[in-house]
């Protein structure tokens, strides 16, 4: 990727899950007020998808691209499993394509063997019908993206209040140039390596300082570094992106990344422009016309 394309891509994703994981939630979320003119074609799609509290009762499909699409027949990750707990329940974003939900359950069950953690804390996956969100992410729209905390699941059930208020750990040094050695552990590297080796995983996004640590710690076998790519934020959690489910026509895969992504490509992330990016003018929100036409069916399905 050229320097300019990299910057444009990175800035476009600037809001993607940056501070969102650390915003605390509330035990008594207020439902959004009904829209006065939901059929107005200018209505932002996030206002429509953000008001859906249940999945579209259609067969499971990821439709469109990771940052421009929706999901039919989504499943919820149960808020508790033996080896996982869902955080920020008030957001109702624990929905995903059944492939992703099954993947997360399998991954968390393996976590104790991977790095000794009791399990994983799961942040945002997607809204019940996917689509753009009122707060937080540019992607996470087709039920194939999930944020997982870089903090181990504790050895006890967290209360609902703790799940709204507890903060994850910032893994990056205040100068953003490297990980914080007082919190970064070999267990983090082991987990990211294991997730990256899963064939269904297309990408993992981490903060550039974390990528730097992985490049340093990978040793001889570097193939697993390819899927792990730097992104703004992602210093409290990492982002797992699965490839499109087999046979899901209309689900748009990204081109596979090349190389280990270390070296010069990574160095660009530590330039002043990238460390202190100036966000461009706000973009007009996406409307239904900009999403795949089938997302309209997903939105209204009863
Ligand atoms: Zn994310």
Total H helices, total E strands in the chain = 9, 11
Tell me how far the alpha carbon of residue 36 lies from the centroid of ligand 1, in angstroms: 31
What is the spatial distance between Cα 261 and Cα 268, in angstroms, rounded to a whole number?
11
Identify which of 239, 215, 244, 279 has the alpha carbon closest to the alpha carbon of residue 65.
244
Q: Which of 83, 114, 121, 120 is nearest to 191 (CA)?
A: 114
DSSP helix/strand/coil, 72: strand
**pLDDT tens string for the chain (302 positions)?**
444 444 444 444 444 444 444 678 888 788 889 998 989 999 999 999 999 999 999 999 999 999 999 999 999 999 999 999 999 999 999 999 999 999 999 999 999 999 999 999 999 999 999 999 998 889 999 999 999 999 999 999 999 999 999 999 999 999 999 999 999 999 999 999 999 999 999 999 999 999 999 999 998 999 999 999 999 999 999 999 999 999 889 999 999 899 999 999 999 999 999 999 888 888 899 999 999 999 999 999 99
Distance 239 CA to ligand 1 centre (A): 5
In three-state secondary structure terms, 157 is coil
- Dist. CA 45 → ligand 1 center (Å): 19
Gap from CA of 299 to ligand 1 centroid (Å): 22
Ligand 1 geometric centre to CA of 138 (Å): 9
pTM of the model: 0.92
**What's the 18 CA to ligand 1 centre distance in angstroms?**
8
Say how many Å lie between the CA of residue 206 and the centre of ligand 1.
Answer: 9
Strand residues in the chain grouped as ranges (E) = 61-65, 68-72, 75-76, 80-81, 84-86, 95-96, 120-122, 145-152, 201-206, 228-230, 237-242
Predicted pLDDT of residue 53: 95
pLDDT score at 8: 43
- Give the span between the Cα atoms of 286 and 31, in whole angstroms: 22
Contact by Cβ (8 Å): 84, 105 = yes
């Amino acid at each position: 990727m050229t320097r300019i394309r990299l910057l444009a891509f990175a800035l476009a994703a600037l809001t993607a899950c940056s501070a969102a994981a650390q915003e605390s939630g509330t035990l008594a979320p207020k439902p959004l007020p009904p829209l006065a003119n939901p059929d107005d074609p200018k209505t932002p799609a996030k206002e429509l998808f953000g008001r859906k509290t249940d999945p579209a009762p259609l067969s499971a499909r990821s439709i469109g691209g990771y940052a421009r699409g929706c999901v039919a027949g989504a499943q919820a990750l149960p808020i508790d499993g033996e080896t996982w707990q869902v955080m920020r329940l008030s957001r109702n974003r624990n929905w995903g394509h059944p492939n992703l939900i099954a993947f997360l359950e399998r991954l968390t069950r393996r976590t104790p063997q991977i790095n000794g953690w009791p399990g994983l804390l799961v942040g945002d996956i997607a809204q019940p019908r996917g689509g753009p969100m009122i707060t937080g992410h540019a992607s996470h729209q087709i039920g194939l993206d999930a944020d997982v905390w870089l903090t181990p699941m504790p050895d006890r059930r967290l209360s609902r209040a703790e799940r709204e208020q507890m903060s994850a750990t910032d893994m990056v040094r205040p100068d953003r140039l490297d990980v914080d050695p007082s919190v970064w552990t070999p267990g983090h590297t082991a987990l990211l390596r294991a997730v990256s080796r899963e064939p269904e995983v297309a990408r993992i996004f981490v903060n550039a300082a974390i990528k730097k640590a992985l490049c340093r710690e990978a040793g001889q076998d570097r193939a697993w570094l390819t899927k792990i790519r730097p992104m703004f934020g992602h210093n409290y959690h990492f982002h797992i992106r699965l490839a499109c489910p087999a046979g899901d026509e209309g689900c748009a895969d990204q081109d596979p990344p090349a190389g280990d992504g270390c070296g010069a490509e990574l160095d660009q992330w530590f330039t002043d422009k990238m460390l202190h990016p100036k966000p461009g003018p706000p973009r007009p929100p996406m409307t239904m016309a900009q999403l795949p036409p089938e997302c309209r069916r997903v939105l209204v399905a009863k």
